[in-house]
Every structure is written in C-alpha cells, then in structure tokens.
A and B are shown apart, each in its own frame.
Chain A
C-alpha cells in the first residue's frame, strides 16, 4: 500500500532545491514515477520514511533539448517517448534511441525519464549502456550551485549513485560522436514487449580502414550495474579487424563479466549468451561499416 504522502510541486529549480534541503530525510524527487510508485506499493526499503514527493513537472527548463556543434544537452525530465520522437537524438545517438524504444511499454515510456533510469540505477536500466558509450556527462544542482560529472563516475552500485541529499540532476550532456563511429545496441528480454532486460550491450566503435580505432563497450543487466569495459577497450584499440578478433573481444568480455559478478545462478545461461550476443553485434557493426564504405 502507498503511505500517505504530500506532493510538492515547485515552480523553479531553486524552490525545489530549497525544499529538498529543508527536508533531507523525508523528501524524494519524483519524475515519471515508474520506479518510485511500484516501489512504494511493494513497501520497498529504498522508499521508506518518505513524507514528501517533489514533483518536478512544473519546471520547464528540465524538459528542454539544446543542441550546439559539440553536444546535445537534454533536460532531466525528458521521457523515453520524447526521446524516441526527436530527430536530432535519432541521428546523433541512435543507440540511445534504440534502447529507449525497448523500455517497458508505451505507457511506461510516456512517463519514465532517462534521468530517472540512471538515478534509480537498477542493473537492468536499458538506457545506461548507450549513455555510457556516448560518454554522457550529467549536470547537477545543489545548494552550492551547478557542477558536472561523467555518468560513469556517478553510478556506484545497484540502486546507489553519487547523488547527494538535496541535489537534482538537471541535464544530461551528450557529446556528439565523430562521424567514423558506428555502433549498435542489443537487448535480450524474456519476451519482446514489456520486458525487463536480461542482457543489454552497447558497442560504439571507430573503424578506420580495417582497423579498430577507439572502442567503447558497455553492458547492463548481466553486470551489477550498467558499466564500461575500459581495460578491454584499450587492449583491442588499434587491432586489425578479423573474425577471430571479434570472437576474442567477446570471450574477453565474458571473462570480465565473470570477474565482476562471480558465478551467479544465471551465469550458466547469461555468460555464454552475452559473449555470443556481443560477437553477433560486433560482426553486424563491422559488416555495416563495410556496406557504408
């Protein structure tokens, strides 16, 4: 059952920050509510002691999309549906938009926000691996003003981030990748609609001639949280592309994941399938690159 709560609707970021700081233990931000409402219904320990929900929907600047030559900056309240329907995001960040289109159902995508996805930081957050391979940064507002942080630093462990009490994530800054980057996103769920992901993978690769330039790989659901594989990326950057190479990368990814997770009940299935899926993804990316050329 949902406990009795007061809904606070601030009209400005300042007002919101003030309220959050005045009620540090009892106030929580609500954006789309697709995590917090079911969490409250289930009596989840993560949401106990809440007396105020601070609804940010009145603050229009959190819904803006601003593009310049370097970055596209999106407001933290942007929903997945809005993201799917934005041409500039579609053109510049296709992996992110693809992941957005796999989140939950139409109804969930109409409510849920991309910022809420990583602030909740569930292992299966679909948009996190694409955000990570795009080197997304986030902008936070606290009592001491604005500051920025790479998303990969912000995420700590399942359901924990560096968000401090009284702070609001206001924007997500997405640096536009250079033209030679090509990539893809993969999601495996138990079914095709309204599916919680069992494996997500994002790969963004710079391909020059027959060589791998910069490689960015990320996983979700199969790792404790959405994460990049920086060691692996470095190891294979500059390698000549071959079928064997793509298989080696995939097998190494399997090893990295086992290192992070240890053996879990699902490893017997997830670890081989992740490698297989990563190989298929890389093979597709490389052949798409050939076709473009």
Chain B
C-alpha cells in the first residue's frame, strides 16, 4: 500500500450505504408518475411452437383494458440482440422458449390485467423441442431459428503450436469431461422499468433497474425508430445485477416505451420473481472436454479443449461470453501446443448471456480440476504443478500474447495463498486417506427397493462420517472488454466556486460501489474530502456513451476517465496559483484535506474553496470532461491468436471443507482469497467484492442450478432456487497483492469477477481432497456427492426442494 495517498487504499464507507440500509434509496418500482399505467405480459405454455393465430376478441372491449400491444405496434426493429438480431420484442411467428412474450396488456390495474390475460386466445402448433445442446448440431435437429442454416451461434477455434507433437512428447495424458449448470443471477430486486413520453414529440424517457443505460438506449431507439438523442435513459438505484439486467431490461424498456408512446401515458412494467426467473437469461451451462499431456516433471506439453455452451433460445451475449472462454480456457499456464474449440449453440432452453464471470467460471472449474488430477497422477502437490506451469513475466498465453507491461505476479499470489492457508501440509494429510467408496454402492433398480436398506457394514459412525479437505484454484483474467469491442469511457467533473464538486461517469453504479470508488479517485487528485462530492444519477442525456458497465471495467476505465478530468482541472488550478503566487512553472503543490500547499521557497497555502472562488472570479473553467481509452488490442478469428486484452489480473483461492459422508453435505469451513487487483482504491469495497464473489461462487459450487425440463424451469422462486445464506459459508479472508500497472487510476484494474470465477474450482478440489475421488458435475449438491448423480423431481410442482 502506498502511504503517499491521502485516501486511495483506505477503508471508505459507501456513499449510498445510509440511504440503502434505511430504505430511503429509490429503486425503480418506488418511482411512480402521474397517470401511470401498467403492462403485463402474455405467454403460452410451450417451449417451441408455431403461432397460428391470436384472438383478442374476449378482451378488446373490456373496460379494464386500455391497449393491447404486440409486434404489429413496433415502428422499428422487431428483432434485437447484441450481435445477431434474433430476439423478438414480441413474438410473431414462433415461440422458442417458455419465457417468450407474445403481447402485453396495458391498463390501470395489474390484478385486472392478470385476469384479462387469460382471455387472450392464442392458437399454436407444438414443434419438436430441443433441450440437449449436444444434439443441437445434429443433422435432423429442430432448427430454433430457421433463418440461420443450423443451430450454431458461434465457433471459436484457437490453434497454437502442434497439438499432435505436444501429446507425442508427453509422458502422461489425462482426458476428462466436466459439466456446469444453468444458474440464475438472483439479484434481489426483480426487473422494473417506467417509460414516460416527453413533451418534445417522438421522445421518451426511461427510468429503470437498468445495468447498461447506453445499451438500453440503443435498443429502445432501434425499436421505436428514433434518433438516440430522443431516448433518455436514467438509471434508478439498482438492486443487484451481476450481469443480469442487460438484454432483459433493454427489451422490457422497449416494450414499456412502445406502450408509453402509443397510450401517451407513462407505462410501468414490473416483474414478479417468477416472471423474472422465467424470462431473464442465465449463465451458460458448459460441457467441457479437456485433454492434457505433461512430462514426468509436470511441465504441460499439450492441451486440447472442446467446449459446447448452451446458448438457449437466443444468441444474446453468447459470442462474447464464449470468446472470453476461448482466450482463457487453458488457465494461467504457459503451454506450447494448444487446440481449443468453443461452440455456442441454440436450444429451446432459457437463453443464456452475461453473468459475473462471463465465460470464465466454467473453464476454470474444468482446467483447475484437471490440474489437480495431473498433480495427483505425478505425485506432486497441486500448488507445485501450478508453480511449474504458470505464467510469469514475459510468458506467452494460448493466444500467443506476450504478458508484459504489468506485474505478472501469479506466483506471488499463489505462494501467499499457500502460506496463509498452510495448504501443502493439510493437502498431504487429507490426501492420504482412502478413497471414499461407500457412496457409490447403490446402483439402484427401482424394482428392488430392498437395495436401499443399509447392511451393517454400510453404516458410518460418529467417529468417521466427517472428513476434511483443502483445495486451491488459480486464475488469470483479461481486464475490461478486450478485443470484444470499443473500450473507452467518459467522466464529467464540475467544481463549484465553493469547492464542492459534482461528478458523473458514463459507467453505472450497479451496487458494486462505483460511486464511492470514483469519488475517491477525484478526491485524491483534488485533495477534497469525500463529503464535498455529490455523485449524480446515471443519465444517457448528460454524459457520453461509455459502453456497458461490464467486464470488471468500471474502476479501470471509469476511474481512468475521472482521474483524467480531475488532473485537467488540477492543472488549471496549479497554473492559476503559479500566476497568483509568482512561482516557477514547474512548482510542486500538494492537494489534500481541502487545502492546497506549496513548500518551495516560502511556504504558501490556500484553502480549496478559496482557490475555487478565485478561479471562478478569474473566469477559469472549473469543469472538465475526462476521457479514457484503452490501448488497441487485436484478434484473429480463424486461428484464435492475438493480444486479447491489454492487461490481466491474477488470483488464487484456497477452500477448506468438511465433507459429511453420511449425507453428501459439503460445508465450507473457510476460504482464503488472494487477488491482485492492480491497485486497491477502496479497501472496504474491495473486501466486499471478495465476500460477495466468494459467496456467489460457493453457490455455483454447491447449490445453484436451474433445471430446464423440456425448456420449463422448475426453480421459479427462492424456495426452489437455493442461494447460500450467511450460515452456509464459513470465514472468508481476503488478501490483496498489489501490482505495478500503467493502466487505470494508479494501476487499479479489476476485481469484481475475479473473486467469483475460481471459487467453485477451489471448492471442488477441496471436495476431491476430502473424498479421494473427483466429482465432475456442478453443483456438488447432496445427491451428486452421495449418489454420484443428480436426482430430479418428476413434477414441476413446488414441493420440498
């Protein structure tokens, strides 16, 4: 930690904390407008069907209905999507998953509308349903979107070196297949948005729980066929997003906007939890085949990776999500010969898109599991196999990128985690125990219930039913968007003539603490105390398009923009003081605690508010727009080679678990998380990211799973979809190893996603250590551990989960 900072790196309370914990913060559904109407969605119970006709005759004259809106009311694009325009705002020819919406009813009362929606008669013809992504590319598979020639959304190949030679040179080869589940973001606030017609003709204002206001504006403008400037998107306080309030919210905003423009009144859409889980996208389930060849000394010679990602019904972010997978699939290991193929495919399952981690938790689970298997095969400890292969400064990644211009401090991160946890000794101790076999004894035939009755020798006793295990995982992560897209952000700072400041950035506060982080950056440069800073609401009409708030890029890019703006203002103020105090042009000032000091010949001092008043009087501009653009990166789509991201971060987590062999329960006793975020701006915020990310990662490891039964979701609320509670995860201990970086504010890079992406892998390795056997399919729930498979209820009805 650099002591020369006055506020950067300290523990700072969130500026919005008080309003949020006292219930004063206004979330989208807390906001209402005079004359406001509501809209409810109409769906059919089918995962794949041709719409034959829609009959509104039973509702059209009902006094409780103000307007029916369907695809025929859309003036602009009827289909939207980040890359491929394949998702309808309202379905018109087919439905391809049960979350699909055919039309919406607008009226004054939601309860009335919910009664009316059952009277919309939709005649449809069922089509064959495709649920297995492994069958998506088969010749006779049903086509989800017949406008494309097959169900392939994207295929990313990556070729490096000579894979055959790599395997031929190896002494050991391991090949394994891993699977991960659909998971739900589980943001605590369900979707809500209001569209308000504006006085200027053909213009609309949107207020909602929107993660990416600029993306939302683009979608709404394209659907309404309006210029971008005619659509103003304002973000309400966001009750969690985790990547989840992007596509879904853009589409909901477009629906509300159509409704508002047609009725001339504000239209609100708010989802119940059930609707939220039904319609919103999930994290991609992956099927990952990994083949690894290594020399006897542990050096990996070749890695061949084949991944199928279930994109579900729409392409959404699949091309970006799977691109991150192809870049990072080998893990942070320098491997000469790599062949990776990642394919995303359509099915009739819920569609999948962005979620914290974004294509990294799945391959990390697979590669970190197989690294442990390799270590066990070579009779070395898991930390050692990683030390022998992991990136160091100047290493080349799978895509042939040389790691430079930042601290490649993975070994330091790993060593810190190993030392803090006592990993090596514990791992050896627990590993010496016998493979835990009793769980596999039943291969049940349901005609033979007697086989469920335990024999005397089957019983575990109170002395032997619990076991301990320890596991680690490492990861590296490309910061920000990389070769996915344009990477730049804006911030606007406006000092007032009394020394107070307002600040606005083109990136959003999504609950991650961005307002506080960016305020700290401005406060550090200008020497302000934080109570002088007011952070404005995100508003697309007040600040330039800065891209989406995703990819753990807000501190790096937004912080860079704020710093640039603050430095520009500070330079003007310094120049003013040089003139006022008759100093040399290169005079050095300190800005701290609302004071500006000069220590050269004859110390001088001025309070910050006096300085601002002076500048104002002299006609010097006290505001500035900061812009921050990442360096160029490039990617070759055919070979998967290129400088994917301009900088990277590194992490290592160590999980200790207790495995209950009598029940299959896994309890996380403690978890040590060591991360290199570049530079910590707010220590309290950084620790919060670790606690949240690890807990979410633990959910991914042990509980969370959306089951798509022929496309239908069973887990539509939190009675069935289980996220961890505070009681379910033991102590989490964060450590930060700072690195030197030339990008971002004082080298601050990324932390949000890195904290989550490797947790499940660390837990799975700890379970492996305890059980003496590998579990290949997330989540490692009771049945997965106890029976080595998942058990599913036959009915979609609610019951004991």
A residues with CB within 8 A of B: 1, 42, 105, 123-124, 188, 190-194, 196-198, 221, 243-244, 247, 250-251, 254-255, 258, 263, 265-269, 271-273, 275-277, 279-280, 283-284, 287
Contacts and interface: CB of A to CB of B under 8 A. Distances in A.
Contact of B462 (A193, A265, A269, A283): A283
7 contacts: A1-B110, A191-B703, A243-B461, A250-B454, A251-B453, A268-B444, A268-B452
A105 B725 CA distance: 10
Interface in B461-498: 461-462, 465
Interface of B is mostly: loop
Given A267-B449, A283-B461, A196 B454 contact: no
Given A190-B722, A193-B726, A265-B794, A254 B453 contact: yes
A190 B454 contact: no
Interface stretch (B154-162, B524-532, B782-790): B782-790
A111 B465 CA distance: 36
Given A190-B703, A272-B454, A277-B663, A123 B792 contact: no
Contacts of B452: 254, 258, 267-268, 271-272
A42 B801 CA distance: 16
Nearest to A196: B800
B148 interface: no
Most buried by B among A105, A198, A269: A269
Interface string B774-800: 000000011100110001111000101
Nearest to A267: B452
B446 interface: yes
A206 to B, nearest CB: 21
Contact of B727 (A191, A279, A283): A191
A273 B453 contact: no
A280 B465 CA distance: 9
Contacts of A244: 456
A273 B800 contact: no
B639 interface: no
B32 interface: no
Given A191-B725, A221-B800, A287 B781 contact: no
Given A221-B800, A273-B662, A190 B461 contact: no
Contacts of A190: 703, 722, 781-782, 801
B446 A254 contact: no
B114 interface: yes
B727 A276 contact: no
A272 B442 contact: yes
A162 B456 CA distance: 40
Contacts of B663: 188, 273, 276-277
B724 interface: yes
Nearest to A273: B663
B111 A123 contact: no
B721 to A, nearest CB: 11
Interface of B: 110-111, 114, 442, 444, 446, 449, 452-456, 458-462, 465, 662-665, 667, 703, 719, 722, 724-728, 781-783, 786-787, 791-794, 798, 800-801
A88 to B, nearest CB: 27
A85 B786 CA distance: 36
Contacts of B728: 191-193
Contacts of A194: 725
Nearest to A194: B725
A133 B580 CA distance: 88
Contacts of B726: 193
Given A190-B781, A192-B728, A273-B663, A265 B792 contact: yes
Contacts of B465: 276, 280
Contacts of A277: 662-663
B727 A268 contact: no
A272 B801 CA distance: 18
Contacts of B793: 265-266
Nearest to B465: A280
In the A-B complex, the 8 residue pairs with the smallest Cβ-Cβ separation, listed nearest first, are: A193-B725, A193-B727, A192-B727, A271-B452, A276-B662, A275-B454, A191-B728, A254-B453
B459 to A, nearest CB: 5
Contacts of A192: 667, 725, 727-728
Nearest to A284: B462
B38 to A, nearest CB: 13
Nearest to B726: A193
B801 A273 contact: no
A198 B456 CA distance: 24
A250 B459 contact: yes
A267 to B, nearest CB: 6
A247 B459 contact: yes
Contacts of B456: 244, 247
A255 B458 CA distance: 15
A289 to B, nearest CB: 14
B631 to A, nearest CB: 45
A287 to B, nearest CB: 7
B337 to A, nearest CB: 43
A265 B725 contact: no
Contacts of B453: 251, 254-255, 258, 271, 275
A254 B114 CA distance: 46
A123 B800 contact: yes
Contact of B460 (A188, A196, A254, A276): A276
A247 B794 CA distance: 32
A247 B454 contact: yes
A265 B793 CA distance: 6
Given A221-B800, A250-B459, A1 B111 contact: yes
